[in-house]
Structure 1
Amino acid sequence: MQSQQSELTQRKNLINTLYEQIYLLKHGKFGASSERYVDEHPQGRLFDEADLSTETQAEIEAADESITIPEHQRKKRGRKPLPKDLPRLEVIHDLADGDKQCACGCQLTCIGDERTEQLEIIPAKMQVLVHVQKKYACKGCEETIKTADKPKQPIPKSIAAPGLLAHVLTQKYQYHLPLYRQEMMFQGIGVDIPRATLSLWVIRCSELLQPLVNLLEDEILSYDIAYADESTVQVLKEPDKPAQSKSYMWCFGGGPPDRFSVVYHYHPSRTHQKAIDFFEGYRGYLHCDGYQAYDKVKKENSEDITLVGCWYHARRKFVEAEKVSKKPGLAKYIIKEIQHLAKVEKAIQAEQLKPEAAKRYRIEKALPTIKKIKLKLDDHHDKVSSQSKLGQAMTYTLNQWPKLLTYLDDGRLEISNNRMERAIKPFAVGRKNWLFANSVAGAKAGAIIYSLIETCKAHSINPYDWLRHALTELPSCETVAQFEGLLPFNFKDQKK
């Protein structure tokens, strides 16, 4: 009997696990992609990971305790005014001469006008820059000839001016437009630029921009708070690897708040060596998810690195578990408790608390909630199948627990790794458009350009404006100070 009961339990767990996988696959294909929590099945579903009889509705409602956010005057929503820096072209609408006569016989006098604004667009067009270098000669001795210098170009002997190169780079890496589509667009305006040429331009520009990425790396490692994440990329022509295999794009961030930098690194595998090499000698906090590579980073760096876990990453696992549960239970309870932690962070931001004040506020408002989560997980961990989504979520959270507590130690730290996930998201979106990198050189070039574009965005700098400026000035740079002056956050200061 005991053997039969054990076999039935195993089969039940397997059925539940398979059901969860099927439901999540269907939800991923046909459901909403937003992570916003919605209680979409109050009546329950057929299967559940466990019958948590100790869970009560009162506990769930208590988890939704409110956090007071300072009052503010809500502004009336309306149409935003059009940017003042856009050029204005006035289109005058006047009465016909015959309509300027009043019925009484007097001539009408203009007393003012009514103005409305519309947005108009001028389609992209090419123009040819003709560099004219004046030549001078001495008519006396007829020996001296001088020719005016032409500015050094980003790509010597190329037809591409800095503005065109910046356009190609931003179209591909900011707006995710593959080179073959850009080739078609150029043909549409009467210019034939083969994609092979465009690809060569991208690689040459990346080589020119590489020193700036090196400086961004120095900025990240100079500060005691850093971030890390990674994503996959397919490279067709990679030595000793089949075309369908996956490589990885690592994303690191950090630096002082006013010099925050983002750096991408291509690597042929997800092995931890890339992260270890990057953070060699680093001392400070590292925001990350639960990937074991970051534990290796900490171990290899003589424990000088303190890992900061991501509460929102843990939350996602409970959201998945809640999606396949038949009734409100532990998953919903944990989700609501983590939402409470998020409200604490929102209040800190609204009050613009300094680091020490933020730390005290977290200890007062967030720590009691965290203790409740820990008690609940400890109480139910052994009652739930480790193969179920809920069991996996609980195991992940408990394994990450010391890291999840770290953000309480310093008011500068963040509750999640969302900052780096936002930085790597454009790469994931772009990958859906261009699908793969053709070569290792192309993947490395993409890493360099993504690094600079995302750093621009972190400082509200227009990537095209910055790239055009940088590609114009870089050929003449010789000293470290000149290169540093071209970094995005310094460009922001120059514009002021």
Structure 2
Amino acid sequence: MADSSKDLQLRELKDMINDLKKLIKTLQATVDAANKREEALTQERDNLKEEVALLRKKLFGSSSEKRSMEVPGQLNLFNEAEMEQDSALTEPEGLENLLPEKEQKKRKSRATNAERFKGIPVVKKYLDLSDEEKICPVCNTPLVKIGEEFVRRELSFVPAKLKVVEIYSLNYLCPECNKDDVAVIKKGKDGHAHMLHGMAAADTIAWVMYQKFCNSLPYTRQEKDWAQYGVAITRATMANWVIRNTLDYFTPMYNYFHRQLLKREFAMADETPLQVLHEPGRRAQTKSYMWLFRSGEDGGLPIILYKYSETRAGNNAVEFLAGFNGYLMCDGYSGYNKVPNAKRTACWAHIRRYLTDAIPKGKQLDYTQPSVQGMMYINQLFHLEDVIKAKHSSFDAIKKARLEKEKPIVEGFLSWLDKQNPVRGSRMDKAVTYIQNRRSYLMTYLEDGRCSFSNNLSENAIRPFTVGRKNWLFCDTPNGAQASAIVYTMVEMAKANGVNVYHYLTYLLEKLPNDRMSDEELDRLAPWKTV
């Protein structure tokens, strides 16, 4: 009886032990799952903190990703790198040679007044004596002028003035024929008939265009400005002037520039959102796009073209670049892959931007950080680009120098990239993914000295539009958006070719280009012929 009782207790203890083991196993699984969730949440929190820091830096900090490895805290919003940096940290072995050599920068000489005011008409103003003062105080003899002496130079502003020009035709009659009741009458003819849409003259319409598309002044503010001059010109009237005259008289020049761009072997592209309120079949909030296509750094005349489209579809680039055969510099947007006969080149400025964003706060000089290591490669490449471009003027020499100096660094960068294993979802993970996805054309720029190293020229060319967009916010109709693209083209073409923008717009509105003109005739109206 006692033995059976002990056996029963023993079985109960064994069952209890098994139950406890199962409970421990279940609890351990629960703890492991909780730990994994905690790790995931911690990583998500860290990623979000990175995003917040990046957004705050973009909102309040410097907009440039450029930096010098010797300047602590340049990338950090609160400039804490110098305080937080561990002075014991050194560059990883093999990377110390990537630091650009220090160069003694020459201070840019200050421009003289003559240089600053070059091209501005000079009017001499004389400080003269009164008639009473022109008498010698010693002997009362009249003074004799012996010369003039320079005192100072002032910049004077003459406000614009409006005037209404009424055009009359003078009529002439032959008096002798009139005696015989034969009326021989001749009238003065307008050698340049008014063909512009609206009452405004070419210089007035050009001024409206200049104010909006060069100075980013919306029609609403221009309307108030016109009122200060005593004339009521509504925003609707100005919009009508710009749209109708642009589509009729600027389009032939636009198409001519387009044809010239397609003949080039090097092109660049970029795009940015645009809101157009009244697109057929689309909501007002739907995002449209303004594209920028321009010539590359091939030594030819600069050509810059804007293009409006309803979407960002790659077919827009395909249609616009139909017939182009050469190298295409653009950002990472995959839509450009659809362009046939175009060999893409990667923008190293975008790569630098992603690595810059991946540097943790206060770690700008921490060479154990992978993002900082990557930046050392990129900074050295940009440094070499500056040195090579300054030293060599021929494209063959640039290509040779790039292959000798830059190719080994690019290869080292790609080898370093393959060794990276960043935390999933982190800024560094996004940077590595971005670069790996563009790996196939990272070295394309080494094939020809005319290839661009970055897409900065395109971004600089599209920036005037983005600045203007902050002021006028949207386009009302597709016609307005298309007219904006064409006028921005004329404005940026004038700038790129060193021509006064307002004078060039006025010039085109006076010459009135049309579709009947040959390319030779249109070329005579191009900004490179009107300097």
Q: TM-score, normalised by structure 2?
A: 0.82
Tell whether 2:43 aligns with 1:26.
Answer: no
Distance 1:223-1:182 versus aligned 2 partners, 3 A rule: same
Tell whether 2:357 aligns with 1:320.
Answer: yes
- 1:99 positional shift: 8.6
Range moving further from structure 2, 447-456 or 112-121: 112-121
Alignment match, 2:231: 191
Alignment match, 1:452: 490
Q: 2:183 aligns with which of 112, 136, 142?
A: 142
Alignment match, 1:414: 452
- 1:276 positional shift: 1.2
Alignment match, 1:50: none
Which is greater in Rg?
Answer: 2
Distance 1:351-1:103 versus aligned 2 partners, 3 A rule: farther
- 1:241 positional shift: 1.9
In structure 2, C-alpha distance between the alignment counterparts of 1:64 and 1:102, rounded to whole Å: 75
- Kindly indicate whether structure 1 or structure 2 has the higher relative contact order, using CA contacts under 8 Å at least 6 residues apart: 1
In structure 2, C-alpha distance between the alignment counterparts of 1:28 and 1:438, rounded to whole Å: 30
In structure 2, C-alpha distance between the alignment counterparts of 1:55 and 1:405, rounded to whole Å: 30
- Equivalent residues of 1:219, 1:259 under 8 A apart: no
- 1:98 positional shift: 4.6
Alignment match, 1:432: 470
Q: 1:113 aligns with which of 145, 149, 152?
A: 149
Partner SS, residue 20 of structure 1: helix
Alignment match, 2:286: 245
Partner SS, residue 394 of structure 1: helix
Alignment match, 1:353: 393
- 1:332 positional shift: 1.9
Distance 1:368-1:467 versus aligned 2 partners, 3 A rule: same
1:121-149, Cα deviation, whole Å (9 max, x unpaired)? 01111122232323334552325544413
- 1:211 positional shift: 0.8
Partner SS, residue 32 of structure 1: coil
- Equivalent residues of 2:252, 2:515 under 8 A apart: no
Gaps of 5+ in 1: 47-53
Q: 2:336 aligns with which of 261, 273, 294?
A: 294
Alignment match, 1:387: 425
Range moving further from structure 2, 332-341 or 412-421: 332-341
- 1:31 positional shift: 2.1
Distance 1:105-1:72 versus aligned 2 partners, 3 A rule: farther
Distance 1:407-1:100 versus aligned 2 partners, 3 A rule: farther
- Equivalent residues of 2:349, 2:454 under 8 A apart: yes
In structure 1, C-alpha distance between the alignment counterparts of 2:36 and 2:447, rounded to whole Å: 45
Alignment match, 2:326: 284
- 1:263 positional shift: 1.1
Alignment match, 2:267: 226
In structure 2, C-alpha distance between the alignment counterparts of 1:280 and 1:367, rounded to whole Å: 32
Question: In the alignment, residue 159 of structure 2 is paired with which amino acid?
Answer: P
In structure 1, C-alpha distance between the alignment counterparts of 2:139 and 2:373, rounded to whole Å: 79
Question: In the alignment, residue 203 of structure 2 is paired with which amino acid?
Answer: G
Alignment match, 1:213: 254
Map 1:3-402 → 2, pairs under 5 A: 3=33, 6-37=36-67, 39-40=72-73, 41-42=80-81, 56=91, 61-66=96-101, 76-77=109-110, 79-81=112-114, 82-95=116-129, 97-98=132-133, 101=136, 110=146, 112-139=148-175, 140=177, 141-142=182-183, 145-156=186-197, 158-207=198-247, 208-254=249-295, 257-297=299-339, 301=340, 304-324=341-361, 326=363, 328=366, 329-380=369-420, 382=421, 384-402=422-440
In structure 2, C-alpha distance between the alignment counterparts of 1:72 and 1:296, rounded to whole Å: 44
Range moving further from structure 2, 453-462 or 475-484: 475-484
Range moving further from structure 2, 111-120 or 140-149: 140-149
Distance 1:102-1:341 versus aligned 2 partners, 3 A rule: farther
- 1:183 positional shift: 0.9
Partner SS, residue 366 of structure 1: helix
1:80-121, Cα deviation, whole Å (9 max, x unpaired)? 424343222222224565597577999877464133211010
Question: In the alignment, residue 464 of structure 1 is paired with which amino acid?
Answer: Y
- Equivalent residues of 1:359, 1:410 under 8 A apart: yes
- Equivalent residues of 1:66, 1:340 under 8 A apart: no
Distance 1:115-1:213 versus aligned 2 partners, 3 A rule: same
Alignment match, 1:484: 523
In structure 1, C-alpha distance between the alignment counterparts of 2:169 and 2:187, rounded to whole Å: 10
Tell whether 2:482 aligns with 1:441.
Answer: no
- 1:281 positional shift: 2.9
Question: In the alignment, residue 209 of structure 1 is paired with which amino acid?
Answer: F
Question: In the alignment, residue 40 of structure 2 is paired with which amino acid?
Answer: Q
Distance 1:352-1:249 versus aligned 2 partners, 3 A rule: same
Aligned residue pairs total 476
Percent identical among aligned pairs is 32
In structure 2, C-alpha distance between the alignment counterparts of 1:179 and 1:436, rounded to whole Å: 12
- Equivalent residues of 2:251, 2:486 under 8 A apart: yes
Alignment match, 1:51: none
Question: In the alignment, residue 18 of structure 1 is paired with which amino acid?
Answer: L
In structure 1, C-alpha distance between the alignment counterparts of 2:151 and 2:512, rounded to whole Å: 45
Question: In the alignment, residue 328 of structure 2 is paired with which amino acid?
Answer: L
Range moving further from structure 2, 273-282 or 196-205: 273-282
In structure 1, C-alpha distance between the alignment counterparts of 2:135 and 2:96, rounded to whole Å: 71
Question: In the alignment, residue 93 of structure 1 is paired with which amino acid?
Answer: L
Range moving further from structure 2, 139-148 or 72-81: 72-81
Gaps of 5+ in 2: 1-28, 74-79
In structure 1, C-alpha distance between the alignment counterparts of 2:193 and 2:513, rounded to whole Å: 6
- Equivalent residues of 1:102, 1:108 under 8 A apart: no
- 1:73 positional shift: 7.8
